[in-house]
Structure 1
Amino acid sequence: MQLSEDEFRSELSKFRDEFQLLRTEVGKRIVGQQPIVDGVLISMIAGGHVLLEGVPGLGKTLLVRTLSEVLEAPFSRIQFTPDLMPADLIGTNILVEGDDGKKAFEFQRGPLFANVVLADEINRATPKTQSALLEAMQEHSVTVAGTSHQLEGVFFVLATQNPLEMEGTYPLPEAQLDRFLMKLLVPFPTTEEMETIMDRTTAGEQKPPDKVVSADRVLQLRDLSRRIPIADEIRRYAILLVMGTHPEHEAATDMVRQFVRYGSSPRGAQALILCAKIGAVLDGRFHVCKDDLRSVAHAVLRHRVMLNFEGQAEGVSVDAIIDDLLEKIGQEVAMAG
């Protein structure tokens, strides 16, 4: 539906109000972690998935469960283990007997058929099981016995992995990492936040969050955010940031050439622009600026930049490489302007 300029601005104002409502309700359960909450909400509206990395006990599971509650959306949690099979995720055909005595195969849906899915410790599952999740994340469908089953409406996967315990794990391949819109690093709470957490969790029952946004409304917000215009210059800047992660490209920094084996795919540029558009709306603007791209660059690119042997051996941080890239390309664009 074509909206007039006034109607479009009014819809974007509602967008900001509803996003703030989501923030507030999630904040009833989650203490601090505002960048993580914002990143998760932005990814969900943008239509992507999130990889959460952090040590156990930081509220990753609680965040996902709370999100499903404020959205009025079906939620499922899948604990990934080495013996988990694809059928445990997507479902399987079972033989059932009808009232007339005839037997037929009927598809029994697995836990992937939900709006919000928590894939806990995803790197503990075997590659075979990981690949089943990959199809669902990319195609929004699963295939069983040659029949494709669509995942309707909002389908949002939040996967967690523990950066400390690596024994018995199967690292996600680059192709699967690339399917995640963002990778968010969950920090340890501050002393003040720990005090608030203790007050909330040891002094009585917590008030449940209110349901404030429907899953269908999320799809409407997604469509609305994609209508935000982006100037050719800003789009080229996003492309240049992605091309600069490739060591053979002229935009690459010295750090990229020395420590990076392979840079971001075109999905990185798509993710930058989609997330930047939502950031512009939340900032009260009706166009994307370079700061919108910079603000999401680390979350969008950190899992798409692969270090070479030298980078791994020296313990180089991918975030430091992105910092260097943002600084260099920012200077070059300023000089060109």
Structure 2
Amino acid sequence: MDRNDALLADWRQRALTLEAEVGKAVIGQARVLRLVNTAVFARGHVLLQGDVGVGKTTLLRAFAQVLGGAFARTEGTVDLMPNDLVYYTYISEQGRPAVEPGPLIRHGEDLAIFFFNEINRARPQVHALLLRVMAERSVSAFNREFHFPHLLVFADRNRVEREETFEISSAARDRFMMEITIDAPADDAQRRALMFDPRFHDTDRLVGALQAAMVPHRELNALAEVIQHSVQASDALQNYALGLWRATAEPAKFGVTLSDLDTAQLMLAGASPRGMSLLLRAARVAAWLEGRGYVTPEDVQAVFVETIAHRLCYQPVFELHRHEISPRLMSAIVAAVAAP
């Protein structure tokens, strides 16, 4: 076993232990935990969506707790402005105006997790600032440039309420490696625990009980690059991924059918090159977490919906129904494109 193999084996055990630790606070969400863990070690931002009270905030806070590093948080509201992320003003004890760094820049380069709660309640101007932060991991303020080399953005949104909300632009959504849907557990025993076990009734105590800073977060970027260079994708796997890519833009040409829609008239644009590169980045991490040094079609399929569905652009007549169309289309594409 060479040095990289030993490194990856050691870190894989750490990653699985970290995932299990989060599972102590968030039950009935094994697949969601694996997807978020995959994004963390692929160094990708995550958008979590779901109904009210299903545990979106708890899950993201739990990951922030176990990952360590500086953590900052803001709440999306209709009156939140971009400057509110960068600085805030107040009247000092001396009765004079004062300025302090906002949540985004307060911790400087040590910022590891920026949690944006209810992101769809914030205005597009705020999304625009966040877009730069996610894309470049930097922002300008106080006549200087702030860099966040270790930053991951975790955001959540409520998919039920539409009043006083703003749709996230395609450009902003494209910066999230994954858009993950979380639902209430289906298992009655897990639902019973959530209702009757007092441990789950105090979120602060629940998250605070998790082991903090389980991994050295400043080493994650370097580890991610080792994973990407070590986990191999065969020519056959690459051809399969190319087929999936083309099918997102021209589903009808690949035999993708939906019973009530003409797939030849459905798409405005398929997945972008960035989206497909992130798909393969996530697939390599998925393979690594399963203990393999090569990517299989199952690894690609495991992350396909969450990395690609939110990047697709439908014709305007279909765009309002994307949340109903996308899951069906993704399943149909996976079924139609032959895997090696």
CA deviation after TM superposition for structure 1 residue 311, in Å: 3.5
* Aligned with 1:259 (options 262, 266, 284): 266
For the residues of structure 2 that align with 1:260 and 1:328, how far apart are their CA atoms? Answer: 17
Counterpart check, 1:32 vs 2:33: no
- Residue equivalent to 1:44: 40
Are the aligned partners of 1:90 and 1:132 in contact in 2 as well (CA < 8 Å)? no
For the residues of structure 1 that align with 2:321 and 2:172, how far apart are their CA atoms? Answer: 25
CA deviation after TM superposition for structure 1 residue 249, in Å: 8.3
Are the aligned partners of 1:55 and 1:163 in contact in 2 as well (CA < 8 Å)? yes
Counterpart check, 1:283 vs 2:290: yes
- Residue equivalent to 1:324: 332
Counterpart check, 1:66 vs 2:69: no
Matched residues, number: 318
Please give the secondary structure, in 2, of the residue aligned with 1:171.
coil
* Aligned with 2:172 (options 176, 192, 209): 176
For the residues of structure 1 that align with 2:182 and 2:135, how far apart are their CA atoms? Answer: 24
Equivalent position amino acid for 1:201 in 2: F
Equivalent position amino acid for 1:17 in 2: Q
Counterpart check, 1:246 vs 2:249: yes
Taking structure 1 as reference, are residues 258 and 164 closer, same or farther at Cα in structure 2, changes over 3 Å only?
same
Please give the secondary structure, in 2, of the residue aligned with 1:244.
helix
For the residues of structure 2 that align with 1:13 and 1:79, how far apart are their CA atoms? Answer: 38
Taking structure 1 as reference, are residues 287 and 107 closer, same or farther at Cα in structure 2, changes over 3 Å only?
farther
Are the aligned partners of 1:253 and 1:324 in contact in 2 as well (CA < 8 Å)? yes
Please give the secondary structure, in 2, of the residue aligned with 1:82.
coil
Task: Supply the RMSD in Å over aligned alpha carbons.
Answer: 2.8
- Residue equivalent to 1:109: 101
Are the aligned partners of 1:51 and 1:182 in contact in 2 as well (CA < 8 Å)? yes
Counterpart check, 1:268 vs 2:271: no
Q: Deviations over 1:214-258 (max 9, x none)?
A: 212322331221122222332232232122111388447345424
CA deviation after TM superposition for structure 1 residue 72, in Å: 2.0
Are the aligned partners of 1:89 and 1:110 in contact in 2 as well (CA < 8 Å)? yes
Counterpart check, 1:84 vs 2:80: yes
CA deviation after TM superposition for structure 1 residue 194, in Å: 1.7
CA deviation after TM superposition for structure 1 residue 149, in Å: 1.6
* Aligned with 1:134 (options 131, 142, 148): 131
CA deviation after TM superposition for structure 1 residue 181, in Å: 0.3
Tell me the TM-score normalised to structure 2 length: 0.85
Taking structure 1 as reference, are residues 7 and 308 closer, same or farther at Cα in structure 2, changes over 3 Å only?
same
Are the aligned partners of 1:65 and 1:75 in contact in 2 as well (CA < 8 Å)? no
* Aligned with 1:16 (options 12, 19, 34): 12
Equivalent position amino acid for 1:209 in 2: L
Using the aligned pairs only, state the percent identity: 28
Please give the secondary structure, in 2, of the residue aligned with 1:157.
strand
* Aligned with 1:196 (options 193, 196, 220): 193
- Residue equivalent to 1:210: 211
Please give the secondary structure, in 2, of the residue aligned with 1:285.
coil
Are the aligned partners of 2:232 and 2:294 in contact in 1 as well (CA < 8 Å)? yes
Taking structure 1 as reference, are residues 313 and 20 closer, same or farther at Cα in structure 2, changes over 3 Å only?
closer
- Residue equivalent to 1:226: 228
CA deviation after TM superposition for structure 1 residue 29, in Å: 1.1
Taking structure 1 as reference, are residues 80 and 13 closer, same or farther at Cα in structure 2, changes over 3 Å only?
same
- Residue equivalent to 2:116: 119
Are the aligned partners of 2:251 and 2:333 in contact in 1 as well (CA < 8 Å)? no
- Residue equivalent to 2:108: none
Are the aligned partners of 1:88 and 1:110 in contact in 2 as well (CA < 8 Å)? yes
Please give the secondary structure, in 1, of the residue aligned with 2:331.
helix
Taking structure 1 as reference, are residues 233 and 144 closer, same or farther at Cα in structure 2, changes over 3 Å only?
same
Tell me the TM-score normalised to structure 1 length: 0.86
Q: Deviations over 1:191-219 (max 9, x none)?
A: 22122223123599647111321212322
Are the aligned partners of 2:313 and 2:319 in contact in 1 as well (CA < 8 Å)? no
For the residues of structure 1 that align with 2:122 and 2:319, how far apart are their CA atoms? Answer: 24
* Aligned with 1:236 (options 235, 239, 253): 239
Equivalent position amino acid for 2:22 in 1: V
Are the aligned partners of 1:121 and 1:161 in contact in 2 as well (CA < 8 Å)? yes
- Misfit runs of 4+, over 2 Å: 5-9, 90-94, 106-110, 144-148, 200-207, 217-221, 247-262, 306-317
For the residues of structure 1 that align with 2:166 and 2:104, how far apart are their CA atoms? Answer: 20
Q: Deviations over 1:136-168 (max 9, x none)?
A: 00000012366422113x211111111111112
Are the aligned partners of 1:245 and 1:252 in contact in 2 as well (CA < 8 Å)? no
Are the aligned partners of 1:92 and 1:144 in contact in 2 as well (CA < 8 Å)? no
Taking structure 1 as reference, are residues 308 and 93 closer, same or farther at Cα in structure 2, changes over 3 Å only?
same
Structure 2 portions without partners, runs of 5+: 93-97, 106-110
Are the aligned partners of 1:243 and 1:252 in contact in 2 as well (CA < 8 Å)? no
Taking structure 1 as reference, are residues 83 and 14 closer, same or farther at Cα in structure 2, changes over 3 Å only?
same
